[in-house]
Structure 1
Amino acid sequence: MSFTIAIIGRPNVGKSTLFNRLVGQKLALVDDMPGVTRDRREGEAKLHDLSFTIIDTAGLDEGPKGSLTARMQEQTETAIALADALFFVIDARIGLTPADRAFADFARRADKPVLLLANKSEGKHGELGAMESYALGLGDPIQISAEHGEGMGELYDAVSKLVPPTEDEDEEHEETDEERAARPIRVAIVGRPNAGKSTLINHLLGEERLLTSPEAGTTRDSIAVEIEYKGRGFRIFDTAGLRRRSRIEEKLEKLSVADALRAVRFAEVVVLMMDAQNRFEEQDLRIADLIEREGRALVIAVNKWDLMEAQPGQIAGLRRDADHWLPQVAGAPIVAVSGLMGEGIDRLMQAIVQSYAVWNRRVPTAALNRWFEGAIANNPPPAVSGRRLKLNYITQTKARPPSFVLFCSRADAIPQSYLRYLVNSMRETFELPGTPVRITLREKANPFAHKRKRPN
């Protein structure tokens, strides 16, 4: 494992801004409101020729035992235990506070190298606050501005004494098929607020890695965790609950939703988690439609199944409901689970692996041609304005998701209903359940178009 540094400090001193600066992406949510970060988030940091793992943490704060605030601090303590060194961040504009002094003692007790970072040091006010920080007894403060990128050279000098420089590879390495197969499957868990997404991931990990609460909206950032399940690697993203746009008012929730949507675009398989007692509601259908438009493999998980009264035919009823409400992803795997009790987890993970395989599937050209001829013979394309539509041939251009180009005459005249017929027939023939199937129409060039018509 690479050298790991945890960013700690009281709330709203700029820890997440520094995290984003070091990883080179806006991965962590940032807002003026204190306490935005709740779960710990890991990323691969790059500082010139130094590479290391960086952990963003919730602000050190005290709260009653068992409360959300107390469990946020437990997450921070876990990050400190995992880290090889600490960035202790203060707000240089405000200067030292009693909380800073208390948590400086906390950092010292960790018995690990501590770099004192005086953030927001730009300007005269920042200079005065940085001078105050000498009183913490954590050594010379490194004056930085995470937002503006100031002081990164001084930070590099300090970090280079802890982290060995990484050697650049002389040649660019091309990923082999074996390496691609061994790479973790990227999975995003999405759904409405309080559907049980974090609880499910905690059960997979076997620890309380993600904060959970009966209160909806506990998760804010999209947190990625690495797990291995029965010899297969997975990188799973927990996301904030997605509500209807009309109900999203706070700026912070808008940022959380945008972060969740980025996780969907980054994923290869998306698990749509529904509450068993309120399944297939309008927002569930909207989320499923978004997943299909983004071209991701879909698995439906109906959570809190342990709260349902056992009745014959329930699972078959779920299958019928899914195909009725989500015809655009007909056959998508649907699994009844209980994230709290651990029921149905094996079936869910198997469904993810199978959906990933379907999403990557390529159809042999010979089989595709045989199907195409049969599909047209069984149901010829309709005539439009008294003129027959001619479908010439079809070819697969790529997988992830399976995508095809259909060469034809008068592409703009082919009805969407006929394209749906082809997609559904293809799903059934080549066993492509649940995954989006793309058919692009392209008109075949007319070899006689360049010739002028003879005058009458």
Structure 2
Amino acid sequence: MLPTPQLPTLVILGRPNVGKSSLFNRLVGRKIAIVDDTPGVTRDRKEAEGRVGGRDVRILDTAGLEEAAPETVQGRMRASSEAALREADVALFVVDVRTGLTPADRAFAQWLRRQHTPVILVANKTEGRFGGQAAMEAYELGLGDPVPVSAEHGDGMGDLHDAIREALPAEGEAVAGDAERPLRLAIIGRPNAGKSTLLNALTGEERMITGPEPGLTRDSVAVQWTDETGAAVRLVDTAGLRKKARIEQHLEKMSAAASIAALKECEIAILVVDALLGMEEQELRLARLAEREGRAVVIAFNKWDAVEDREATKRRLEDALMASLAQMRGIKVVPISAKTGRGVEKLMPAVREVYALWNRRIPTGELNRWFETMMTRHPPPLSEGRRIKLRYATMPKARPPTVTVFGTRAEQLPEDYRRYLVNGFREAFTMPGVPIRLQMRGTTNPYADEDK
């Protein structure tokens, strides 16, 4: 018998009560660690396997890091955490943005900077209007870009999955490099929209049970597939997501959770919309969740063969997208019939096109020429009577395209001006339907002018 390959290991570190156990449960996908507001609830290391960023990983939840004498309980807890770090391939250092940085956070960050293990800085408890802004304080720790999340509510987990995937060691020569990794697709939508029928049509096999009864697919099902170009695809068919008020049975709650988890793990989501019913709140909610998690979306407008007034149906869809999904302006729509196969051949080319945009990086010089044009055309407004001076922009990452703007009081830029920049970026660099992140870095950030 061949030995089981050792899984890469994540360790979750941080002082007591910053939300480590909540993050552990969220990454594992089930409640294992006890979560409570009392500091020090976790005293022993907990271990479980989970799927993060498309990889199977071993996850360690540790006791809170505290400065204490070695012979005390707190000292032994810290020693256990340090031992866990020595086993880990990647460390997640969690801070609580509600409380703000403490001397203990700074001390442990300094210690982590001396270690050889890659560290991802997780700014937890960022739910609420000013959570993302509060996360910026974490730059002071000198551990790079903080990843804002709410472990309790699940916000920001897609970005965290991406950061972990980039930090993990490669799976081996066979998958080294993005070009050789399978494209991760999730098929999402309401029950009975035709998701499983579409999966069967794409793969050319009866992989999934289909029928007129809603809810035949109860869990997320992954299929390894090679598309018509010969490229590898990991295709996930998810259980249908109903309105929250109708998710009453435990099984349906599990199905909804599986749909959301698959969406967070994927790179591109195919949102299947029943053309006879149109784009309703369930589909809009899924599209907004995909955008929030930084995932690109292609709409498969299914049952198109049964639509009588196609022009009116198209107009209704366009109106719904314009009114409720302006943040993903230009989203691709492919009319199909999953049942007959008509139009399905156009779906993967559309997915590949969106995937290329989602991965696209703009050179710094080209980006700043665009940025200067935007400033000249429409200078930033005053904030509380004081001038906001934006200096330059960078693009630190793609997947999704992320633009960081530096300047005096940049973090005070009003929402309508941020939308102006995002829409201008989307139009100038032709990125229809792709989520775009805009980050502001004010000069109050002590890390802004240093090389990280």
- TM-score normalised by the chain length of structure 2: 0.59
- Secondary structure in structure 1 of the residue aligned to 2:426: helix
Tell me the alpha carbon deviations over residues 387-440 of structure 1, each in whole angstroms, 9 at most, x when there is no partner.
221111110111110112111222342101100010000000011111111111
- Amino acid in structure 2 at the alignment position of 1:236: L
Name the aligned partner's letter for residue 323 of structure 1. M
Residue aligning to 2:237: 238
Q: Is the 8 A contact 1:299 1:351 kept in 2?
A: yes
Go from structure 1 to structure 2 and tell me whether the alpha carbon gap of 1:378 and 1:177 turns closer, same or farther (over 3 Å shift).
farther
Give the count of matched residue pairs.
Answer: 287
Q: Please state whether the residue corresponding to 1:277 is helix, strand or coil.
A: coil
Instruction: Give me the identity figure in percent.
Output: 47
Q: Distance in 2 between matches of 1:266 and 1:173?
A: 17
2:397 aligned with 1:382: no
Alpha carbons of structure 1 residues 177 and 394: separation in structure 2 relative to 1, 3 Å:
farther
Matching residue's letter, 1:411:
A
Distance in structure 2 (CA, Å) of the matches to 1:429 and 1:44 = 35
Give yes or no for contact 1:315–1:336 (8 Å, CA) kept in 2. no
- SS of the equivalent of 1:323 reads helix
1:397 paired residue number? 396
**Cα deviations by residue, 1:48-75 (Å, 9 ceiling, x for unpaired):** xxxxxxxxxxxxxxxxxxxxxxxxxxxx
Unaligned 5+ segments in structure 2 are 4-26, 31-53, 58-168, 447-452
Cα offset, 1:312, TM superposition: 4.7
Paired with 1:244 and 1:317, the residues of 2 have a C-alpha distance of 21
Question: Deviations for 1:353-396, whole angstroms, at most 9, x for unmatched residues?
Answer: 11111111100111101000000111111112322211111101
- Find the aligned partners of 1:297 and 1:184 in 2 and give their Cα distance: 16
Show the counterpart of 2:246: 247
- The 8 Å contact of residues 328 and 435 in structure 2, kept in 1 or not, is answered as yes
State the distance in 2 between where 1:244 and 1:304 align: 22
- Tell me how far apart the structure 1 counterparts of residues 299 and 312 of structure 2 sit (CA, whole Å): 18
Does structure 2 retain, via aligned residues, the 8 Å contact 1:319–1:334?
no
* 1:205 aligned residue (199, 203, 209): 203
Q: How far is 1:233 from its partner?
A: 2.0
What is the aligned partner in structure 1 of residue 158 from structure 2? none
After superposition, what is the alpha-carbon deviation per residue over 1:116-138, rounded to whole angstroms, capped at 9, x for unaligned?
A: xxxxxxxxxxxxxxxxxxxxxxx
CA–CA separation in structure 2 for the residues paired with 1:44 and 1:334 = 30
TM-score by length of 1: 0.58
Paired AA for residue 296 in structure 1: R
Match in the other structure for 2:226: 228
> For 1:184, which of 182, 185, 198 is the aligned residue?
182
Deviation at 1:321, TM superposition (A): 4.0
Q: CA deviation at 1:222?
A: 0.3
Query: Match of 2:166?
Result: none
- Checking the alignment, whether the CA contact within 8 Å between 1:198 and 1:212 is kept in structure 2 is yes
Q: Does 1:285 align with 2:313?
A: no
How do 1:145-156 residues align onto structure 2 when only pairs under 5 Å count? none
Per the alignment, residue 193 of structure 1 pairs with 191
Alignment of 1:276-355 (within 5 A): 276-312=275-311, 315=314, 318-355=317-354
Deviations 1:249-293 (A, max 9, x none): 100111111111110111000111111011111111111110101
d(CA) in 1 for partners of 2:221, 2:249: 21
1:421 pairs with 2:405:
no
- Which residue type is aligned with residue 200 of structure 1? L
Q: Secondary structure at the match of 1:256?
A: helix
Q: Distance in 2 between matches of 1:172 and 1:289?
A: 31
Q: Which amino acid aligns with 2:198?
A: L
SS of residue matched to 2:386? coil
For 2:417, what is the secondary structure of its paired residue? Answer: helix
Q: Which runs of 5+ in 1 are unaligned?
A: 4-23, 28-42, 47-170, 448-456
Matches of 2:343 and 2:306 in 1, distance apart?
A: 14
CA RMSD of aligned residues (A): 2.9
